[in-house]
Amino acid sequence: MRIVSLVPSLTEAVAVGAPGLLVGATDWCVHPAGLDVARIGGTKNPDVAAVIRLRPDLVIANEEENREPDLAALRAAGVEVLVTEVRGLEQAFQELARVLVDGCGVPRPRWLDEAAEAWERVVPLAAPPAVVPIWRRPWMVLGRDTFAGDLLARLGVPQLYADHAERYPRVPLDELRGAAGMVVLPDEPYRFTADDGPEAFPGLPAALVSGRHLTWYGPSLVEAPAVLGAALRAALR
């Protein structure tokens, strides 16, 4: 088969779970390192014509990360498109199996079961309610019904805006400071660092975490509980 992926998480999953099938991926598909496939633009602005020229048997996409007009244009050109939806960990496992086994026609990879086993072994922390910014200028945080929020809940970090009407609400900084018991700062989509983020929340424990392990659904899920757990525990000491 010839596969084009429009989602970094799924690119890594296919590259590891179904090696040799990928022929195209977005510019943001940086894992695994050294992936040698055609680049077809971004997740929000793929070069549809370039995708079609690759003659894929299947394009894999995500309902949140990709735009429906682009997917409709691919379908109109006769390209089969598999669209995933991931709002939580269990759904991620189901969708990864659908992509790899049903979509790519390969056996269920061992790392998928290893990831499930790693998350079953998680011992939740006793963390205070946290805000999880994903952007600044303006400040945006995780809200309801998000994959990253589900991972944090499983790790024992209650998310302050988990019941917000929006999935990624804009919240004034003063409100964030006044309500949170800690702040979790991933390095993507906004690249929060030790020098860019914690200073906005003086006096609060600040956990700098790997955005790939918090927001990607793929092979990184195997080590995500340990990686994220270590960063969260360090902030709470």
User: In this structure, are residues 17 and 111 in contact, taking their beta carbons and an 8 Å threshold?
Assistant: yes
Residue 178 has pLDDT above 90, yes or no: no
Helix (H, G, I), strand (E, B) or coil at 66: coil
Write down the pTM of the prediction: 0.94
Alpha helices in the chain (DSSP H): 8-17, 48-53, 68-76, 89-97, 110-120, 147-154, 173-179, 211-215, 224-236
Q: Which domains does the chain have, with CATH numbers?
A: 3-108 (3.40.50.1980), 130-236 (3.40.50.1980)
The mean pLDDT of 169-177, rounded to a whole number, is 95
Give 168: exposed, middle or buried? Use CB within 10 Å, 0-12, 13-18, 19+: middle
- Quick one: tokens of 3? 């596969």
pLDDT tens string 45-73: 999 999 999 999 999 999 999 999 999 99
179-235 pLDDT, tens per residue? 899 999 999 999 999 999 999 999 999 999 999 999 999 999 999 999 999 999 999
Q: What is the pLDDT of residues 91-119, one digit of tens each?
A: 999 999 999 999 999 999 999 999 999 99
Q: Which residues pair with 22 in a beta bridge?
A: 3
Take residue 115 and report the two structure tokens written for it: 């990831």
pLDDT of residue 179: 84
Quick check: helix, strand or coil at residue 170?
strand
